[in-house]
Amino acid sequence: MTAAGAGTRSGGNGTQSGRYDIIIVGAGHNALVTAAYLARAGLRVVVLERREVIGGACVSEEIWPGYKVSTASYVNSLLRPEIIRELELAKHGFEMLPRNPSAFSPFPDGRYLMLGPDKDMTRREISKFSPRDAEALPKYEAMLERVADFIEPTLMMTPPDPWSLTPRNLTTMAKLGWGFLKLGRKDGAAAVEILTGAARPILERWFESEQLKVLLATDAVIGAMAAPSMPGTAYVLFHHVMGETNGVRGVWGYVRGGMGGISNAIAGSARAAGAEIRTQAEVARILVRNGAVEGVALADGTEVRAPRVASGADAHVTFGRLVERRELPDDFAAAIDALDYRSASLKINVALRELPDFTACPGTAPGPQHRGTIHICPTLDYIEEAYDDAKYGRPARNPMLECTIPSVLDDTVAPKGQHLMSMFIQYFPYALSTGQPMEEAKEAFADRCFDILTQYAPNFRRAVIGRQVLAPVDIERRYGLTGGNIMQGAMSLSSLFFMRPIAGYANYRSPIRGLYMCGAATHPGGGVMGASGHNAAREILRDGKGK
């Protein structure tokens, strides 16, 4: 395998000290953001990544010659515009490719629905199923925008600690309260329901056509071990509409060269500011003495010393594996042990010799049906039943498929005339109750997914040249994401904002002096947003440039 965008290999035994002000564990996109901001502030930074390629779950890898595969994350909208601007990512090669339309859903009865961002097209499309829903959608989106105006500013803030009476905390809480008050009673109630409730009842109140409801509901369960009728899924849905592409709210796009284009651009910015990035440099231990960090020990025995360490790995990896348990207060260690890493998301990366020819919208020449996200999911109950299987440890008999074909808009990701498809699938559990060996079960599941897609696009199976199937166990092994949880831990209310990763430690610090967290395990959580990395850098600098 060739790694697109590899850094410098780590090498040699011995001890390196005095060279760095801070060590960053992992080169996920968040950790790279932290590295870039700290290097720009004048700190001597080294990033240590265990894999041969940087980016974590935001990566492009050449798993077949001539293909740049976004093996994990595959579409972007969440990356914060402030970060794109401040780190000058365009200068370092970052380019967004907006999609129009953004979604295509073929249905078993031969009809289909396409959505956005073109508002007239969206209205015409929804009217095919319900003129009333076509009128309701802009009002629903306006309500989400108003709620987003309240929640979005919190993404780039350090969550306050509601149990602390320091002036800074009280000021932040007061500002939040004021923002909530300004929402008014109606939107305030909507915000509370979005933060705590289930997606399904909200969608059922707003809309009547099953086709629109189910298309919107898919965002509520992506990466979540939950069905749309379960509390918490409204926030997952909302989390997915908070981003933008080139300034247009809620629009998802492809990144030229694959998602690694983001991580490589951030790394370019960090390097330009003086940060050093090493790959194949697995951290085996975070070294602690007298309650303060001293540096890290690599798997090859090398010790790298620095007065501060920031970890971009998840909380389970950081505190459960890299830090000795005796260094942690018991209640802290117990809270980390209790974090929810359940997951049932499976990814299939597919190389294609031709584009799928959908019965509902025929053609193998690139068309609007190929540009956006292709949803294969006919009803809300279909998702509920798929989840029910996973709940009992069985792969869903009828899984929900979300397919994207970036090669339709980006000619750099597949050889000429060929195509690349991402299939993101719910639900295939991390642990199986069926007794079937994992390898066998995941390949059989991938076959089932291919059969389902072939029902909608009869040429699909014979168009496949190659496939890579990543079950939650593979996602854990490959990217270091515990339980295969794509968000570095569940995004449920009990793990958000001042509760992320755990109550009392949402300010990017830890019980160990000089040890910080800077990945998606912290507020505001998963997705390629960069906000965790940004906020962590601000807190590290707030503690002063030296120790």
Q: Which residues bind ligand FAD (CB under 6 A)?
A: 25-31, 48-51, 56-58, 72-76, 78, 282-283, 312-313, 317, 322, 347, 424, 475, 479-481, 486-488, 519-520, 526-528, 532
Cβ nearer to ligand FAD, comparing 211 with 343? 343
Pairing of strands 45-48, 22-25: parallel
Measured from the CB of residue 352, what is the shortest distance to ligand FAD in angstroms?
Answer: 19
Count CA atoms closer than 13 A to 376's CA, side-chain side: 23
Q: Could you give phi then psi for residue 459, rounded to 5 degrees? A: -85, -5
Contact (CB, 8 A) for 286 and 293:
yes
Cβ nearer to ligand FAD, comparing 222 with 464? 222
Measured from the CB of residue 243, what is the shortest distance to ligand FAD in angstroms?
Answer: 8
Pairing of strands 253-255, 96-98: antiparallel
Cβ nearer to ligand FAD, comparing 369 with 488? 488
What is the dihedral sign for C-alpha 460, 98, 101, 104?
Answer: positive
Token representation of residue 474: 């593979």
Measured from the CB of residue 466, what is the shortest distance to ligand FAD in angstroms?
Answer: 18
Measured from the CB of residue 322, what is the shortest distance to ligand FAD in angstroms?
Answer: 6
Measured from the CB of residue 37, what is the shortest distance to ligand FAD in angstroms?
Answer: 14
Let me know if 345 is exposed, middle or buried by CB neighbors in 10 A (0-12, 13-18, 19+). buried
Give SS3 for 202: helix
Measured from the CB of residue 83, what is the shortest distance to ligand FAD in angstroms?
Answer: 12
Concatenated DSSP letters for 455-503? HHSTTHHHHEEEEEEE-HHHHHHHH--GGG-TTSS--SGGGSGGGSSST
Sequence-ordered alpha helix ranges (H) in 247-401: 260-272, 315, 330-337, 368-371, 380-391
Distance (Å, whole) CA 147 – CA 151:
6
Cβ nearer to ligand FAD, comparing 103 with 475? 475
Cβ nearer to ligand FAD, comparing 183 with 376? 376
Return the closest-CA partner of residue 265 out of 537, 18, 467, 59. Answer: 59
Distance (Å, whole) CA 6 – CA 225:
32
Measured from the CB of residue 178, what is the shortest distance to ligand FAD in angstroms?
Answer: 30
Measured from the CB of residue 422, what is the shortest distance to ligand FAD in angstroms?
Answer: 8
Cβ nearer to ligand FAD, comparing 20 with 424? 424
Q: How many helices (H) and strands (E) does the chain have?
A: 17, 23
Stretch (H or E) spanning 190:
helix 167-196
Distance (Å, whole) CA 495 – CA 523:
9
Q: Which residues lie below 8 Å from residue 522, measured CB to CB, with a gap of 6+?
A: 500, 501, 506, 508, 532, 535, 536
Measured from the CB of residue 505, what is the shortest distance to ligand FAD in angstroms?
Answer: 16
Cβ nearer to ligand FAD, comparing 306 with 528? 528
Return the closest-CA partner of residue 368 out of 330, 320, 409. Answer: 409
Q: Which residue has the tokens 């794509």?
A: 486
Give SS3 for 157: coil
Cβ nearer to ligand FAD, comparing 190 with 336? 336
Measured from the CB of residue 226, what is the shortest distance to ligand FAD in angstroms?
Answer: 16
Contact (CB, 8 A) for 401 and 453:
yes
Give SS3 for 271: helix
Cβ nearer to ligand FAD, comparing 26 with 501? 26
Contact (CB, 8 A) for 55 and 260:
yes
Cβ nearer to ligand FAD, comparing 72 with 310? 72
Measured from the CB of residue 170, what is the shortest distance to ligand FAD in angstroms?
Answer: 30
Cβ nearer to ligand FAD, comparing 162 with 320? 320
Measured from the CB of residue 488, what is the shortest distance to ligand FAD in angstroms?
Answer: 6
Return the closest-CA partner of residue 500 out of 517, 485, 512. Answer: 517
Cβ nearer to ligand FAD, comparing 125 with 402? 402
Cβ nearer to ligand FAD, comparing 285 with 513? 285
Measured from the CB of residue 486, what is the shortest distance to ligand FAD in angstroms?
Answer: 3
